[in-house]
A = this chain, B = another copy of it.
Amino acid sequence: MSWIRNAWYVGATSAEVGDAPLGRRLLGERMVFFRDAQGRVQAVEDFCPHRGAALSLGRVCKGELVCGYHGLAMGGDGVTRSMPGQRVGAFPRIQRFAVEERYGFVWVWAGEADGADTSAIPVLEWHGNPAWAYGGGLYHIKADYRLMIDNLMDLTHETYVHATSIGQEEIDETPCTTRREGATVVTSRFMERIDAPPFWRDALAAIGVPEDTKVDRWQICRFSPPSHVLIEVGVAVAGLGGVDAPDDQKAYSIVTDFITPEADGSMWYFWGMARRFRPQDAALTERIRDGQGRIFAEDMAVLEHQQRNLDDFAQRKLLKLNIDAGGVQSRRMIDELLAKEACAQVV
């Protein structure tokens, strides 16, 4: 296993777990999510203890997950509640997974359910805050989840992968700096007095600033284990302090990336953008979401081909340049935590 176990990952969005159960392969397990009688999300193995049917093909009835084959009713604790005509007391338990719904996401603890600690779920300040708007989506990508961390912790790729939207030459020309801040790796780049690329010109227009205004632009990428990357991005009218400029003179957003291994070699990628300008403008939210969806789809092709190459040329050593420092240090942090978990298991 190549991912940290004592940690929370995003397993689904709240909206995905509605009246019907949701089956999803995640963290090497086949899971099924459903809502109990109190509306709380529960997750158990997607395996009926009767004959092995997929519980996700069933339905939710009074907060229990009813198998679509013979009607076994499963509780969120992995204990069978009932089955028509049967005594279920001796039925074997199935595995439950610790889950917590928060900020519009269903968080899944990758380790033993009993060890789950909800205080470790990151705080997403924008959720439910009227000063912010959020839109996002989900992609399934056939590549190791760490390739996405590399991707996000080095935004020089924007110039090439996203040339027509957020890329611009000044990204290449401006060095980035990478540092570790406690349990976070931070890579930042500040570009001053430049033209805004198309995506940001639209944002400027949205806040009433002429599109051709010279801007200061920032990218502050923060990786935190197990595999979350939050990126402060934006532009401000040049010379007003950049990311610290007054709110009406800047377009400030956070790109949100929650990356969850499906199994070795593939991932679920929950992407989104939280913005702090014109939050009530739902049409803008939708437009940004569409644009981001298109931009991030460009990354999918790159990463899947890269993964195929890494499999085919397994013995090749990759370069670790200064621009790769963000990814390299993030992976180092993951490796340290994996080593720590491996030690703990030996004891």
Instruction: Type the 1/0 row for A145-181, where 1 means its CB is closer than 8 Å to any CB of B.
Output: 0000010001011011100000000001101000000
Stretch of A206-214, A285-293, A318-326 that contacts chain B: A318-326
Stretch of A65-73, A96-104, A226-234 that contacts chain B: A65-73
A:303-342 near B, CB below 8 Å: 305-306, 308-310, 312-313, 316-319, 321-324
Q: Is A85 an interface residue (CB 8 A)?
A: yes
Stretch of A2-10, A52-60, A236-244 that contacts chain B: A52-60
Q: Is A278 an interface residue (CB 8 A)?
A: no
Q: Is A124 an interface residue (CB 8 A)?
A: no
A and B contact pairs by CB, cutoff 8 A, 26 listed: A47-B309, A47-B316, A50-B318, A52-B306, A52-B309, A52-B310, A52-B313, A52-B318, A53-B305, A57-B301, A57-B305, A58-B160, A66-B160, A68-B160, A68-B302, A69-B157, A69-B160, A69-B302, A70-B160, A71-B160, A71-B172, A84-B156, A84-B172, A84-B173, A85-B322, A92-B319
> When A and B form their complex, which 5 residue pairs have the shortest distance between CB atoms, in order from nearest?
A84-B172, A54-B305, A52-B309, A53-B306, A52-B310
Which B residues touch A324, using CB under 8 A? Answer: 51
Find out whether the CB atom of B51 lies under 8 angstroms from the CB atom of A318.
yes
Q: Give the most central of A51, A57, A91, A322: most B CB within 10 Å.
A: A51
Find out whether the CB atom of A68 lies under 8 angstroms from the CB atom of B161.
yes
Q: With A47-B316, A69-B306, A154-B70 in contact, do A172 and B85 touch (Cβ < 8 Å)?
A: yes
Which B residues touch A81, using CB under 8 A? Answer: none
**Closest chain B residue, CB of each to CB of A80:** B319
Find out whether the CB atom of B51 lies under 8 angstroms from the CB atom of A91.
no
Which B residues touch A150, using CB under 8 A? Answer: 51
Find out whether the CB atom of B302 lies under 8 angstroms from the CB atom of A70.
no
